[in-house]
Structure 1
Amino acid sequence: MAGEEAWWSGWGRWQARLALLLGLPVLLTGAYGTNYVFLAAPTEYRCYVPECEPKPGVIRSPEEWSPEWSQWALPNDTQCRRRAPNSHTCLPTSFDNNTIACDQFVYQQGSSIVGEFGLACEEWKRTLVGTVHNVGMLISLPLIGWLSDRYGRRAALVVSGCGAGIVGVCKSFTSSYGAYLLAELLETVAGASVYPAAFVLMIEWLGVEQRILASLVLGLPLSLGAASLSLLDYLTDSWRLWARIAYPPSFLLLLYPWLLPESARWLLTRGRLAEAIELVKQAASWNKLPVPEESLEQLLHPQKNDKIEAEETVFTALCK
């Protein structure tokens, strides 16, 4: 067969094995890619009133969150100001109608960085986390793209995935907002290119004509990873614990240099013909298909003007 039918019939056990191996890093990047939506999620807060409550922090019980004294100590139209006290007691007569800016806050939950780093009434700091994440993506794509072309698709995938895991674990130990922002940037720079690297590797074993199939195969674990993000956030109820559970599985990618096959197309472009031929033969063996000798001969002795054509011939033979 030729064209689309040939590539479609080329899906076999070798490509299925590749898809399964790529499923893990893609699933993890699905969870890491939007983690800031939960780790920097909006959190309800109000002013801390020292005349009426013992200390600031996280308050979980409804009685402490909306006590009776809030009627006269807290205005209804703002979360960032409280009524000015005229004594150190907590009576209705202890506060007047003037308001003052709050210098401390209490939070309804502590599962995100908002409560821990004291981001009440500073919404721009919370949303800046997402901005920094997107900036990291802009840096990551050309950087890991260069790495992928220079050292291989597999190397880019392993470096990107493990890099995100290392920085993500370190992020869970940050003690300040500034350190968290820096960790978010470095994590994104390291890990944002896992999916592009996996997609390119899948395409180069399936063929350009199978872009939709590659998107479907890798889109499933990507969506599953995004769903697991919300589930893990619900179960842990702590952004630090979430990070310490979610990121260590990425270290399994350290095994991928021995498990994941490199792109034979990339090996061809680097002149590593013997390795490319060995991989082609392995793929043919897995798919129980013969590789025509003339295709291997063209691979071993490519002509300068038809190098790309020789590559297409061997891959078409493999997946026919």
Structure 2
Amino acid sequence: MTSEEIPKRVHLDDVLSKFGMFGAYHAQFMVLVGLAYASNTAYSSNYVFAVEEVGYRCKDERFASDMCGKINGTSCPEFVYDKNDSFVAEFQLACYDWKRTLVGTVHSLAYMIGLLFVGPLSDRVGRKAMIVATGVIGGVLGIARSFVTSYWLYIVLEFLESAFGDICSPAYILNVEIVATTKRVPYYMLCGIGYCVGGVVKAFIAWMVPDWRNFLRALYAPALLFILYIFVIDESPRWLLIKGKKDDAVAIIDRMSKKNKVKVDQRMLDNLVCEIDEDENVEFGKVLKSTFTSTALFKRFIVCVIWWTTSTFVNYGMTITSVSLEGNKYVNYALVMLAELPGAFIAMYVLMRYRRKFPLITCFLLAGVFCVGQPFLPTNMAWLSILMFMIGKLMATLYFTITYMYTSELFPTYTRNSMHALCSSLGRVGSIVAPQTPLLTQYWEGFPSFVFGVSSLIAGMVTFLVPDISNDALPDTVKEAEAIGTKNKDTNPKENVQKRKKDNHSITNKSFDWKE
């Protein structure tokens, strides 16, 4: 390569593009970040087993017909539980089912609040530092919960662990920053297999260790090993460049090249730069104003919030209620988690090959049909009930994945990240409400599944209100975003072409590249 072929300013993507996804360095990282994702799934809904529903009755036979009521102004003096070493029995939660489901609601609420702190801290102190910190904090607080003797102290620790002990956010950022832009989506998808593994392992541990205290200890103890990530993973080269630590970034790239046996021209590293887009630091107020003053974008925002709320509500809700299906609850939970694996691959294939709108509507409607129909199946056909439930969960996984991508494509570059984060944050209301859905079984056993189905059907209907999009170039301005789905898509073709040529962007979405 001649000196003329080496640009004076080399972007990090130009360097990272020389590395494949399956070299030794990135393969090792895939396993390590996959373990982080596995811990996220294992901890995110641990309450399904730790605070499981347990049968109970009043010891006084006079309360047999109304054990949670009063007779002559007197309540049941003592309850007998089907499982004496359970969380419900130990904290005397008979007739207080809301206290049991409150654990899950607090966990989801704390996670939403924690994102407001963990994200900025990750930008400030680094992705690696936050991965280690959140991983270890989560393990410590999780184990601490296994020793509490007060229900409300348990709630406090559940909140703190979810808010400050979730490794997923910094792990995801490092995950997508460690590879070239063209490989982000497929590489994340492969690392994301860890989510499925974590759910299956959690079900297995719960089966083998039924005591809730020992279950928490067995589940969270491995998280203490995240302290070793100080030595086994590297910081994000992108973050280091942004912070002006070019030498450290180059040293990491050198390790990549040696481990992957890929030679990188030293002159490229010498000319390595990081350009920060001023639009990335837009004030939040301006982001809202530029979006909400546009009727088209405001309508998309409302639809996206409905997508996210439905996605989090149905996916978390179906995972939680899977333990109440006919058959072995541990096996059912593991099967539901396994359903997410093909769902992720199918979603990626759909995103690579087809447009967005029709597949998303199809997934919403199919999930709605299967979830609504599942409660009406004959009670003696448990296998069919589980099959329909799993198909519904598969469809829910599909539309959650498509929603994640579709949301980012409907807004202009200027507000894309902020609007995506806002939709995601507001949509977490669904995951906050989801733990309460088991309470609906008091009125009808099939009520939760029916509600999941209706929610999916509504979300599918509102999807008709947004324009379709494929792998076209992402809109950069509000006018370009408004033009999506209209006949006149190029508001200023000459200006757009010149801009894209200047930025070296293709007119197609380059997020999917499996080539080595």
The normalised TM-score by structure 1 is 0.76
> Partner residue of 2:228?
255
Q: Is the 8 A contact 2:19 2:262 kept in 1?
A: no
| Paired AA for residue 130 in structure 2 | A
- 240 and 201 in structure 1: CA distance in 2 versus 1, 3 angstrom threshold: same
The 3-state SS of whatever aligns with 1:106 is: strand
Matches within 5 A, 1:234-245: 234-245=207-218
Task: Report how far residue 81 of structure 1 moved.
Answer: 4.1
Q: Is the 8 A contact 2:176 2:188 kept in 1?
A: no
* Structure 1: distance between partners of 2:177 and 2:136: 23
> Partner residue of 2:262?
289
The equivalent position to 2:68 in structure 1, one of 70, 74, 80, is 80
* Structure 1: distance between partners of 2:212 and 2:153: 15
Instruction: Count residues with an aligned counterpart.
Output: 269
The 3-state SS of whatever aligns with 2:271 is: helix
> Partner residue of 2:38?
27
> Partner residue of 2:157?
183
| Paired AA for residue 209 in structure 1 | T
Matches within 5 A, 1:56-95: 73-76=62-65, 78-81=66-69
Deviations 1:73-127 (A, max 9, x none): 4434x33248x6xxxxxxxxxxxxx795213211101454211101110121111
Q: Is the 8 A contact 1:80 1:101 kept in 2?
A: yes
Whichever of the two has the greater Rg, that structure is 1
* Structure 2: distance between partners of 1:107 and 1:305: 61
* Structure 2: distance between partners of 1:8 and 1:271: 23
> Partner residue of 2:339?
none
Task: Report how far residue 162 of structure 1 moved.
Answer: 0.3
> Partner residue of 2:182?
209
The 3-state SS of whatever aligns with 2:192 is: helix
The 3-state SS of whatever aligns with 1:206 is: coil
* Structure 2: distance between partners of 1:130 and 1:148: 26
Q: Is the 8 A contact 2:127 2:236 kept in 1?
A: yes
With 234-243 and 111-120 compared, the bigger mean Cα shift is at: 111-120
* Structure 1: distance between partners of 2:226 and 2:38: 12
> Partner residue of 1:129?
103
- 304 and 206 in structure 1: CA distance in 2 versus 1, 3 angstrom threshold: closer
| Paired AA for residue 241 in structure 1 | N
Matches within 5 A, 1:8-19: 10-11=20-21, 12-19=23-30
Which structure exhibits the higher relative contact order, with contacts defined as CA atoms closer than 8 Å and separated by 6 or more residues?
A: 1
* Structure 1: distance between partners of 2:58 and 2:101: 21
Q: Is the 8 A contact 1:27 1:225 kept in 2?
A: yes
The 3-state SS of whatever aligns with 1:120 is: coil
Task: Report how far residue 196 of structure 1 moved.
Answer: 2.1
- 265 and 79 in structure 1: CA distance in 2 versus 1, 3 angstrom threshold: same
With 237-246 and 108-117 compared, the bigger mean Cα shift is at: 108-117
Deviations 1:113-156 (A, max 9, x none): 21110111012111111111011101221211122111111111
Q: Structure 1, unaligned stretches of length 5 or more?
A: 50-69, 85-97, 313-318
The 3-state SS of whatever aligns with 1:247 is: helix
With 235-244 and 217-226 compared, the bigger mean Cα shift is at: 217-226
| Paired AA for residue 79 in structure 1 | M
Identity rate, percent: 33
> Partner residue of 1:56?
none
The equivalent position to 2:200 in structure 1, one of 200, 216, 227, is 227
Q: Is the 8 A contact 1:47 1:81 kept in 2?
A: no
- 266 and 239 in structure 1: CA distance in 2 versus 1, 3 angstrom threshold: same
> Partner residue of 1:54?
none
Deviations 1:199-246 (A, max 9, x none): 211211123333332332222122111111121111111110111212
| Paired AA for residue 37 in structure 2 | V
Matched, 1:144 2:118: yes
Q: Runs of 4 or more off by more than 3 Å in structure 1? A: 6-9, 73-76, 301-306
* Structure 2: distance between partners of 1:240 and 1:288: 47
Q: Is the 8 A contact 2:79 2:94 kept in 1?
A: yes
- 303 and 294 in structure 1: CA distance in 2 versus 1, 3 angstrom threshold: farther
Task: Report how far residue 165 of structure 1 moved.
Answer: 0.6
The equivalent position to 1:42 in structure 2, one of 53, 65, 81, is 53
